[in-house]
């Protein structure tokens, strides 16, 4: 009986042990299941969050894209249907598309102008094109534009391997730790300037480290984050605020039609386009076809009778008539301002070479006052007079001929400025930020819009 009791006791302990082990096993399984469920939930949550972020990014991207496409549509319409009485129509119309929304997202197109944010695209022609400016103009640019830098820029953009006095050519760039070739052609972006010998990245970009033309939070926080800045609420853009490489000359005339090529035009073509007499049309064509160095600016500098006489190898006395091959001279009336406008704005001497890009001119309507002063042959008096006249014109200068009304402006001075200035821009830089309304996530698209041909050419696209 005692043996029975002891056997039962051992069996009880064994059974209790079995039950305890089972309990522990069940507990372990529960814990493991909980961990696995937690991991699955965490993974699912991460995937869901990533999915939501991806969806938000898609919404923000397409909002930015919608703003870009709306801007392109307005630019193309105004190019085909231009206003000849309002120099600001294109910018104003594009500004109307600077904000908008699509389902669940919105866009905003803007750029910085000092402390202000300016809605709408930035005018590339409000800056000096580095591919067309000369040494004197570059040396005027501050800070830190040295003769060494200017000579190196000229060496970078010219086609030869002859080094300027303080410049740099192929041998210099090949001796770098990571060798590369100089462009020996026009620069394609302002950031390319950073590859030029003695050009400093900080000088090129200033505080605008991503070159988007907007004062971003990291560009206005002192030394908290890169780049270094003075946290004054003003975007210092360095040389990139003065120089550009993307403005382009050429394109359609002010009327929205192709310019009339005076090299191939007939007298009737000129009469119809410029609204001049037969004698005036003949004088224009005689000069263009008989003078190898004829330029459109010559029509501003000299009167028709002088140009025709020069082309025909005859002399005029004062403002007398132009000569023929005999002794009789026929007087050719000088162009009135309205006729000169049509000639300058609607005609050209020769057509652009296929595939060749011509650096853009500085738009006298949109450039900052300090940028206008950088131009060669631009005196302080003329610059101030132009700005004073501009401020009095709510619709801006609609033709360069309008500058003849500027105090102190002479025809000779204007003929020089003709090669430097324009009143109609071809290239605009769009920085469009799309924003997802639910998450606040933003996507930025930056692109250059070129209307020298239609449809508008889109280049330099960056997505951030």
Q: What is the pLDDT of residues 372-406, one digit of tens each?
A: 999 888 889 999 999 999 999 999 999 999 999 99
464/321 same-domain check: no
- In angstroms, the CA 157 to CA 188 distance is 10
Contact 115, 231 (CB under 8 A): no
The residue ranking higher by pLDDT, 292 or 428, is: 428
Q: Name every residue whose Cβ is closer than 8 Å to that of residue 273 and which is 6 or more positions away in sequence.
A: 260, 265, 342, 346, 347
- pLDDT confidence bin for 19, thresholds 50/70/90: low
Name which of 112, 27, 120, 32 is nearest 70 in CA terms: 120
Q: Which of 288, 320, 348 is the last residue of a domain?
A: 348
Task: Give domain status of residue 167, yes or no.
Answer: no
Residues present in the chain in total:
464
The helices-and-strands tally (H runs, E runs) of the chain is: 14, 13
Task: Give domain status of residue 416, yes or no.
Answer: yes
Q: Which of 311, 327, 348 is the last residue of a domain?
A: 348
370/246 same-domain check: yes
Task: Give domain status of residue 287, yes or no.
Answer: yes
pTM score of the predicted model: 0.86
Task: Give domain status of residue 400, yes or no.
Answer: yes
403/320 same-domain check: no
292/417 same-domain check: no
Task: Give domain status of residue 455, yes or no.
Answer: yes
118, two tokens: 């300016």
pLDDT at 322: 38
* C-beta contacts of 412-415 below 8 A and 24+ residues apart: 412/301, 413/377, 413/382, 414/300, 415/297, 415/298, 415/300, 415/301
Q: What is the pLDDT of residues 402-441, one digit of tens each?
A: 999 999 999 999 999 999 999 999 999 999 999 999 999 9
pLDDT at 324 over 70: no
112/15 same-domain check: yes
Q: Which of 315, 348, 381 is the last residue of a domain?
A: 348
329/428 same-domain check: no
pLDDT at 249 over 90: yes
85/118 same-domain check: yes
pLDDT at 5 over 80: no
- In angstroms, the CA 213 to CA 352 distance is 31
- List of E strands, 60-130: 99-102, 105-113, 116-119, 122-123, 128-129
432, two tokens: 């469009």
307/370 same-domain check: no
50, two tokens: 């990533």
Task: Give domain status of residue 44, yes or no.
Answer: yes
Name which of 131, 135, 133 is nearest 146 in CA terms: 135
Mean pLDDT of 216-229: 91
300/373 same-domain check: no
390/414 same-domain check: yes
3 state SS of 205: helix
Domain membership of residue 283 as a residue range:
260-348
16, two tokens: 């209790």
Contact 190, 130 (CB under 8 A): yes
- pLDDT confidence bin for 37, thresholds 50/70/90: confident
Task: Give domain status of residue 24, yes or no.
Answer: yes
- pLDDT confidence bin for 318, thresholds 50/70/90: very low
Name which of 82, 78, 80, 81 is nearest 95 in CA terms: 78
Name which of 157, 197, 194 is nearest 174 in CA terms: 197
26/84 same-domain check: yes
- In angstroms, the CA 14 to CA 16 distance is 5
279/382 same-domain check: no
- In angstroms, the CA 218 to CA 230 distance is 11
Domain count, the chain: 2
Task: Give domain status of residue 230, yes or no.
Answer: no
């Amino acid at each position: 009986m005692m043996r029975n009791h002891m056997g039962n006791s051992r069996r009880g302990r064994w059974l209790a042990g079995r039950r305890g082990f089972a309990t522990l096993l069940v507990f372990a399984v529960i814990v493991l299941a909980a961990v696995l469920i937690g991991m699955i939930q965490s993974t699912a949550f991460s995937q869901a969050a990533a999915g939501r972020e991806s969806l938000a990014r898609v919404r923000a991207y397409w909002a930015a894209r919608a703003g870009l496409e709306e801007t392109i549509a307005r630019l193309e319409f105004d190019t085909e249907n231009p206003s000849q009485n309002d120099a600001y129509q294109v910018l104003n119309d594009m500004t109307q598309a600077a904000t908008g929304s699509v389902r669940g997202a919105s866009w905003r197109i803007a750029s910085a102008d000092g402390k202000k944010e300016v809605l709408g695209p930035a005018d590339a022609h409000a800056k000096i094109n580095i591919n067309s400016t000369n040494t004197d103009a570059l040396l005027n640019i501050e800070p830190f534009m040295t003769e060494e830098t200017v000579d190196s820029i000229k060496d970078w953009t010219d086609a030869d391997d002859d080094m300027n006095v303080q410049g740099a050519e192929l041998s210099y760039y090949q001796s770098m730790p990571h060798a590369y070739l100089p462009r020996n052609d026009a620069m394609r972006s302002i950031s390319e300037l950073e590859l030029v010998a003695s050009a400093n990245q900080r000088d090129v970009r200033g505080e605008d480290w991503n070159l988007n033309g907007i004062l971003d939070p990291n560009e206005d926080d002192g030394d908290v984050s890169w780049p270094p800045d003075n946290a004054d609420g003003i975007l210092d853009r360095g040389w990139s605020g003065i120089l550009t490489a993307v403005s382009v000359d050429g394109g359609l005339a002010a009327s929205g039609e192709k310019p009339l090529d005076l090299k191939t035009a007939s007298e009737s073509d000129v009469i119809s386009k410029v609204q001049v007499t037969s004698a005036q049309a003949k004088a224009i064509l005689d000069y263009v076809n008989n003078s190898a160095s004829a330029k459109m600016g010559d029509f501003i500098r000299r009167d028709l009778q002088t140009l025709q006489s020069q082309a025909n190898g005859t002399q005029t006395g004062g403002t007398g008539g132009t000569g023929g091959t005999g002794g009789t001279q026929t007087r050719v009336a000088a162009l009135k301002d309205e006729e000169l406008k049509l000639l300058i704005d609607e005609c050209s001497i020769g057509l652009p070479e296929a595939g060749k890009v011509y650096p853009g001119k500085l738009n006298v309507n949109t450039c900052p006052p300090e940028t206008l002063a950088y131009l060669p042959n631009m005196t302080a008096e003329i610059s101030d007079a132009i700005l004073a006249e501009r401020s009095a014109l709510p619709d801006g200068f609609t033709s360069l001929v309008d500058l003849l009304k500027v105090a102190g402006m002479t025809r000779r001075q204007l003929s020089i400025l003709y090669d430097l200035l324009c009143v109609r821009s071809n290239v605009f830089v769009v920085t469009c930020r799309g924003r997802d309304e639910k998450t606040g996530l933003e996507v930025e698209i930056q692109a250059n819009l070129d209307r020298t041909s239609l449809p508008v050419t889109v280049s330099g696209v960056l997505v951030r």
